[in-house]
Copies of this chain bind each other. A is one copy, B any other.
Amino acid sequence: MSETSTPGPHYAALLQLLRTSETIWNSSRIFFERWELSPAQFNLLNLLTDPGEGLTQSDLSRELLTHRSNITGLVDRLEKRGLVGRRDQAGDRRAWRVVLTPSGKRLMTEILPHYYRATERVWEGVSVRQAGVVAEVLKGVAANTQDAIARLERENP
């Protein structure tokens, strides 16, 4: 007799979550082509749009859920295009303060209205209330995932 292993009742939802996210990411690549930006580049610029003081590369890596070393090249390329700059971080000579240049600010001012409109179009047919519920559930799922991994790393050194 063969031992069969079957997916649990939430499995389909997990697949759909990953698929939808992948679809959005791939589509956003086409969306941002117009400004010759990759999704990763846009997300980095987007993080720098609010805080006037800029962020360190470590801050950026934490926000973007990516490794420190990945930020080096991202900032390099955006710096070469004149969209961001590396400024000294007062009181810490290890770190950079990455800031939007005026050119980078202008670009984001142009893109953001299009971006916000596009994000709303993507949720067409979903009430704000329901989107809130979905976001809340997904927040819990992310927290569960973190917990599970923390447990895994505690048990396997």
A interface with B by C-beta (< 8 Å): 3, 5-14, 16-27, 30-31, 34, 65, 109, 112-113, 116-126, 128, 130-135, 137-142, 144-146, 148-149, 152-153, 156
Contact = CB atoms under 8 A, between A and B. Distances in A.
Contact of A152 (B3, B10, B30): B30
Copies in the complex: 2
Contacts of A8: 116-117, 119-120
Contacts of A16: 135, 138-139, 142
Nearest to A63: B19
From A7, A120, A133, A137, residue with most partner B Cβ within 10 Å: A137
Contacts of A22: 21, 65
Binding site of A, secondary structure by majority: helix, strand, loop or mixed? helix
Contacts of A124: 144
A139 to B, nearest CB: 6
Given A14-B123, A123-B10, A126-B137, A24 B116 contact: no
Nearest to A26: B65
A122 B137 contact: no
Contacts of A109: 3, 5
A17 B23 CA distance: 12
B116 A140 contact: no
A63 to B, nearest CB: 10
